[in-house]
Amino acid sequence: MQPGDTQADLVIVGAGMVGSALALALKDSGLDILLVDGGPLDVAPFAADAPFEPRVSALSMASQRILQRLGAWDGIAARRASPYAEMRVWDGAGTGQIHFSAASVHAEVLGHIVENRVIQDSLLEPLRDSAVGLLPGLRLEQLRRSGDDWLLTLSDGRRLRTPLVVAADGALSAVRRLAGCETREWDYLHHAIVTSVRCAEPHRATAWQRFTDEGPLAFLPLDRQGDDHWCSIVWSTTPAHAERLMALDDTAFRAALGDAFERRLGEVLEADPRLCIPLRQRHAKRYVEPGLALIGDAAHTIHPLAGQGVNLGFLDAAVLAEVLLRARARGEPLADPRVLARFERRRMPYNLAMMAAMEGFERLFQSDALPLRWLRNAGLKRMERLPGAKAVFVRQALGLSGDLPELARA
C-alpha cells in the first residue's frame, strides 16, 4: 500500500438508487464502506407544487418493503408517491384487453409511481447520517488487481484499495468494462420518449398501457396536491418515429399522443419537455468475479414495458446485503468467490426469467404477422377470463414471488 491510498472493506461504485440502497442495507454492519459517485449527491429541496421529473419508476410492493426497512420510504411518502390499484392493458391493433386489480389479490395497491429524484433523495438522506463514507463528484477511472485487493483510481487521482468492489454504476458501468466482464447485448430497436402530461379526465389510480404497432405506450398515474389528471408517459417506439415525435411542436405532439392513446383519458391538455432514451438490453454473463459483484443496471438492463428495472435492482441489493451479512456473521471472507456465488445463484435465474418474459411480450406485440396478432388478442382475452392466471401475474408484478430476501418479506 502506498502512502495516501485509502483502505476500505468494501467500495461501492455508483450511488444511484441501487448502490445507495446497498450502502444503507450494510450501514450498521461494522464494515468500512466507501460509496463513490460522479454526481454531487446533493439532496434537492422539495416543493410540493414543483413540476414532475420526467424519469419515474413504478415501484413494486417488494421495493416498497425494502425501502421501508432501509428508512427511505418515509422520505418518499413525505415528498410525492402516487399509488395505483389497477392496470389496464390492451392491443391497439385488435380487441384483446386485460384488467388487473390489487383487490383481486386482497392488496390495497399494485405499486406506486415515484419520481427517480424523489427515490434517490430519500435514500441519500439517511445515508448522509450514517457511517458510510460518501465520495461525491468523483468518477472511477482505473481499476486493477493488486495482490488480493482491487486498486481503484478516481478522477482526482485518489487511490482506494479494497478486497471487494460492488459495481452499481449503471448500464454503461465503468467497473464492468475495466474489470473485463462480458455482457450479452442487443438493441430493442426502440427509443423511449418520457414526459409528464395533463389529461382532461382523471387517471383513476390506474396504470394504462396500449400496445401500438410501433411499441408499447404507458400512461402512469401521478398525483400533485390532490390533482389526479397528470400522468407520466413512456412511449416506446421505433427510432425513426421517435425522431419525428421529438421534432413536433407541443400542440402537434399532444395531438399525436392523444391519437396513439385512443384518448382514453380525453384530450392531452399539457405536456412537459420530452426526453428521448435509446433502449438496449444488456445482461452480464456473470454477476460475480473474485472480489467483485455487479448489481442493478450494471448487471442487467431490461425493456421498461413492465417497469421492472429498478425493482430487480433493489432485490439484487437486498440479496447481496443478506449474503454479505450472513458471511460476516460466520467469519467468512466477503470477497471469497464461494460467498459471492450465493448472490449470483439467487438473483441470476430470476432476472433472466423476467427478461425473457419481457422479451417475449415485446416480440409478440411488435409483430405484424397475422398469426401473432391473433395469438396476442386471443391470449389477452383468454387470460382476462382466467382469474387464477391473472392472480399469478399480479403477484409477479407486486414482486412477491420467488426467493425473497428478508428485507422484502412481510
Ligand X SMILES: Cc1cc2nc3c(=O)[nH]c(=O)nc-3n(C[C@H](O)[C@H](O)[C@H](O)COP(=O)(O)OP(=O)(O)OC[C@H]3O[C@@H](n4cnc5c(N)ncnc54)[C@H](O)[C@@H]3O)c2cc1C
Which residue stretch of 66-74, 309-317, 338-346, 394-402 sits at the interface with ligand X (rule: CB under 6 A)? Answer: 309-317
Residues 6+ positions from 58 with CB-CB distance below 8 Å? 84, 111, 112, 113, 207, 220, 307, 311
How many CB atoms sit inside 10 A of residue 87's CB? 22
Nearest to 150 by CA among 284, 18, 297, 13: 13
Nearest to 294 by CA among 124, 161, 165, 116: 165
- Smaller CB separation from ligand X, 220 or 323: 220
Task: Give yes or no for residue 36 binding ligand X (CB under 6 A).
Answer: yes
CB of 48 to ligand X, least distance (A): 22
Task: Give yes or no for residue 321 binding ligand X (CB under 6 A).
Answer: no
Task: Give yes or no for residue 102 binding ligand X (CB under 6 A).
Answer: no
Say how many Å lie between the first and final Cα of the chain, rounded: 45
Task: Give yes or no for residue 152 binding ligand X (CB under 6 A).
Answer: no
Which residue stretch of 79-87, 167-175, 248-256, 375-383 sits at the interface with ligand X (rule: CB under 6 A)? Answer: 167-175
- In angstroms, the Cα distances linking 237 to 151, 211, 215 are 42, 10, 5
Of 104, 109, 137, 139, the residue at the interface with ligand X (CB under 6 A) is 139
Which residue stretch of 37-45, 202-210, 326-334, 362-370 sits at the interface with ligand X (rule: CB under 6 A)? Answer: 37-45
Residues 105-124 that bind ligand X (CB under 6 A): none
Binding mask 259-298 for ligand X (x = CB under 6 A): ------------------x------------------xx-
CB 123 within 8 A of CB 130: no
Residue in this structure with the C-alpha cell 460509496, named with its chain if needed: 35
Q: How far apart are CA 395 and CA 401, in angstroms?
A: 6
- Smaller CB separation from ligand X, 25 or 192: 192
Cell numbers linked to 316: 439484487
Q: How far apart are CA 360 and CA 60, in angstroms?
A: 21
Of 18, 26, 127, 354, the residue at the interface with ligand X (CB under 6 A) is 18
Task: Give yes or no for residue 192 binding ligand X (CB under 6 A).
Answer: yes
3-state secondary structure of 146: strand
Q: How far apart are CA 179 and CA 128, in angstroms?
A: 29
Task: Give yes or no for residue 310 binding ligand X (CB under 6 A).
Answer: yes
CB of 358 to ligand X, least distance (A): 11
Of 11, 174, 288, 293, the residue at the interface with ligand X (CB under 6 A) is 174
* Residue ranges in contact with ligand X by CB under 6 A: 13-19, 36-39, 57-58, 139-140, 168-170, 174, 192, 194, 234, 277, 296-297, 304, 307-311, 313
